[in-house]
Structure 1
Amino acid sequence: MSDSPKSKPKWRWIRIILTIIICLGIISASVAAVVVINQTEPTAQKIESTRKSAALVETMTVERGAFSPQIVVLGSVEPASDVVLSPRVSGQVLLMGPKLVPGGMIKKGDLLLKIDPADFENAVSIKESELQQTRAALKIEEGRQSVAKQELALLEGTIEGADRELVLREPQIASIRAEVSAAEAAVQRAKLDLERTEIFAPFDAHVMSRSVNVGSQVRPGDELAQLVGVEEYWIMASVPIRHLKWIQFQDKDESGSEVVLRNTDTWPAGATRTGTVARMIGTLDPQTRLASVLITVQDPLALKSDAPPLILETLMETHIAGRTIEDVIRLNRGYIHEGDTVWVMKDDKLEIRRVEIVFRDGEDAYIQTGLNSGDEIVITNLATVAEGIGLRKAEATPIQTEDSDEVLD
């Protein structure tokens, strides 16, 4: 049996109504579930719980004292005695000393070079002959003067004073005596030229160069050889002006500051030489505006020791011992922080101390105020730096206390 056309709309409305009722039921059930969940979930509670960890650090204890700072600068090695030999007479080089070679070591008074003396020996003979002639002429004139005196005695009272000098031949005697003096000087000059044909070492020296050989023709002004004295070298060091007040310069009552020289490029590891600050050169380098300080080094070529020798024109690392600074604390510059502050551990907490530094050298700072003997300096780098944070030494047991709020579920 089939449905009539009039019953179809009726069933359609029934289905729509049932669908709406089911949807409303589902929505109501969902709302009820959410309400129940919200009413029954647990509530978070605050628990007073604190956790505090002190930073693990290493420290060092400082003491006040008297310290000598080290002024580290660069210096250039220069000769203290440097001469260029030059002949004072002309001639041919007849012979040369065996040590007059580049690099040779010569002693004071060693014969270095000899110029052919033949011409100068002849000159001495000629000048001596001329001297003998003038002396003979003087004797003849003195004999004539003796005869004149006898004749004048017979004419006593008849000749005026001025005429008496002429009669006694005094002008002639004076002239010949002058000739004798000139002849004697000529002989001395000739002998001196003869002596100058031999050239001797003026001091103990190191031969740097030689410009002649046997057979060379030389004359005054020619360069024969360059000699450098081996008794002493100079170090010319460039020092900042602000450091000069800490350097002791040599005077009649006190020696200069001690200097330690190093050359890590050419010397064995740990090798050093010592010197003494002598004086300050009274000018500034126009480029660097640094002051020049002269340092003396004895026996620079180590002829009397096993120390490494100095080489001219070498740059040296120069450590100058400064004047002693009294009542200061010496601290490595790495432990000085921004704003001239130092980290101090006191009562297991960090104190940030501002300090007054009177001098800084290459490695250390010298602190006048801000630190006291017995203070413990923190030498560990801290990730967090704040006044009063907790600290503990490396050998201490970790400390934990409860004093901060933490939310626990």
Structure 2
Amino acid sequence: MMVLILAALLLFLHSCHRQEQSVPKPQAIRVSTVTVKGEEISVPYETKAYLEAEKDVVLRPEVNGRVLELYVDEGSYVKRGQRLLKIDPSQYENTVRQLEAQLQQARVQYQNLEDIVRRRELLFQKDLIAKEDLQNVKTQLRSQEEVIRSIKAQLDNARLELSKTVLRAPFDGYIAQRMVNVGDYLTVQSPTFRLVTLDPIKAVFQVPQELLPYVKEGMEISLRVEGVGERKGKVFFVSPVADNNRMITVKALLANDNRQLKPGMYGVVSIPTQKLTLFRLPENAVVLRGTQKVVWRISQNTAQPVNVEVVLHQNGTVYVRGDLKDGDRIAVENAFLLREGAKVEER
């Protein structure tokens, strides 16, 4: 009986030994690493901005009348002083002709009175007429001078009104909209064309009051517009007042020589603010662990998690802050496979 028990015990021990030999040891995870070093980075504040033309006006005529001709259409580029439309000048031409005739008659009358004055002066010198007769005709001459000046003023105004029958561009720009047709009767309140400039163009955005120390006139900003790319600009206006939400309006001018930026478009403006010491890593070095973002610090071939905050993200690179120090080796390739205490093999 004892022999059977001893044989069973030996068989059991041999079986356990074989099971222990069959359990594989955990393999080390192969990773690549980078060595980090803190960098002082100017962290930008980003916010949405909308674009508007530096000059954007709706043109209205300065005189009333019916449209006789249109010289430009929507999309046209016009130079300052270029003709845009012409209003029927007939009534203004008639007014000019009438005043020119009146002026001519007044000048003839003035010359007649001058002759009379000269003759009466001679008669007065010979005591042939009373002094009052001479004074009366001189008074008439001065009155006629006033008549001539009045008619000249009216004629100048009439000629000016006549010149205004041609509407001209007040500055170089593009016709963004035409709101008139040939034959329309216009008053001085009638809209005709919307004229805008495209280069330079304004970016308008808002910043919270706590960022006001970082926003100054003349500072450079960066604007990123989807489909266009990134453009640089300079701040030229910082509002002296805040709105009800304690936000400050800021405006910047951007070069737009290729006219790709259009009024009404939106972009993201980036403003340099405070400087922080951050660690630069490839973006795949940062992994999610529950709700936390972590990187895996490798020490003595063992992985340990370090919670980090991603402060900046640029083209596949992230800048993070956390409990890191210069010289730490951080796992990159296969970082998503790691667990706390996992053994690793560096490539």
Q: TM-score, normalised by structure 2?
A: 0.69
The whole-number CA distance in structure 1 between the counterparts of 2:46 and 2:275 is: 17
The whole-number CA distance in structure 1 between the counterparts of 2:157 and 2:54 is: 33
The whole-number CA distance in structure 1 between the counterparts of 2:115 and 2:244 is: 70
- The answer to whether residue 32 in structure 2 is matched with residue 62 in structure 1 is no
The corresponding residue for 2:164 is 196
The corresponding residue for 1:266 is none
- The answer to whether residue 331 in structure 2 is matched with residue 378 in structure 1 is yes
| Count of residue pairs the alignment pairs up | 324
The corresponding residue for 2:200 is 232
The corresponding residue for 1:91 is 65
CA distances 1:334-359 after superposition (whole Å, capped 9, x unpaired): 7286667654223434455566x6x8
The whole-number CA distance in structure 2 between the counterparts of 1:322 and 1:336 is: 27
The corresponding residue for 2:222 is 258
CA distances 1:245-286 after superposition (whole Å, capped 9, x unpaired): 65x5442xxx422334332xxxxxxx5252414345555597
CA distances 1:293-335 after superposition (whole Å, capped 9, x unpaired): 43433336x26xxxxx23443344x352625837543446772
1:314 counterpart (259, 265, 269): 265
1:123 counterpart (68, 80, 95): 95
**Compared with structure 1, are the counterparts of its residues 285 and 345 closer, same or farther at alpha carbon in structure 2 (3 Å cutoff)?**
farther
The whole-number CA distance in structure 2 between the counterparts of 1:345 and 1:34 is: 56
Q: CA deviation at 1:220?
A: 1.3
Unmatched tracts of structure 2, length 5 or more: 128-134
Q: CA deviation at 1:226?
A: 1.9
Cα contact 2:303–2:344 (8 A) shared by 1:
no
The corresponding residue for 2:254 is 297
Unmatched tracts of structure 1, length 5 or more: 1-32, 155-166, 264-270, 304-308, 396-409
Matches within 5 A, 1:320-399: 320=270, 322=272, 325=275, 328-331=278-281, 335=286, 342-353=295-306, 360-363=311-314, 366=319, 370-379=323-332, 380-385=335-340, 389=341, 391-395=343-347
The whole-number CA distance in structure 2 between the counterparts of 1:169 and 1:374 is: 109
The whole-number CA distance in structure 1 between the counterparts of 2:48 and 2:272 is: 16
Cα root mean square deviation, aligned: 4.9
Cα contact 2:49–2:269 (8 A) shared by 1:
no
- The answer to whether residue 180 in structure 2 is matched with residue 216 in structure 1 is no
The whole-number CA distance in structure 1 between the counterparts of 2:119 and 2:325 is: 102
Cα contact 1:204–1:230 (8 A) shared by 2:
no
Q: CA deviation at 1:225?
A: 2.0
Report which of the two has the higher share of strand: 2
The whole-number CA distance in structure 1 between the counterparts of 2:328 and 2:108 is: 99
Q: What SS does the corresponding residue of 2:176 show, helix, strand or coil?
A: strand
The whole-number CA distance in structure 2 between the counterparts of 1:244 and 1:34 is: 93
The whole-number CA distance in structure 2 between the counterparts of 1:144 and 1:58 is: 114
Cα contact 1:89–1:193 (8 A) shared by 2:
yes
The whole-number CA distance in structure 2 between the counterparts of 1:40 and 1:331 is: 60
Instruction: Look up the equivalent residue of 2:220 and give its one-letter code.
Output: G
Between the two proteins, what is the percent identity of the paired residues? 22
The whole-number CA distance in structure 1 between the counterparts of 2:62 and 2:342 is: 85
The whole-number CA distance in structure 2 between the counterparts of 1:145 and 1:169 is: 10
Instruction: Look up the equivalent residue of 1:276 and give its one-letter code.
Output: G
CA distances 1:36-69 after superposition (whole Å, capped 9, x unpaired): 7499635869999996755443322223334454
Q: TM-score, normalised by structure 1?
A: 0.60
The whole-number CA distance in structure 2 between the counterparts of 1:143 and 1:113 is: 51
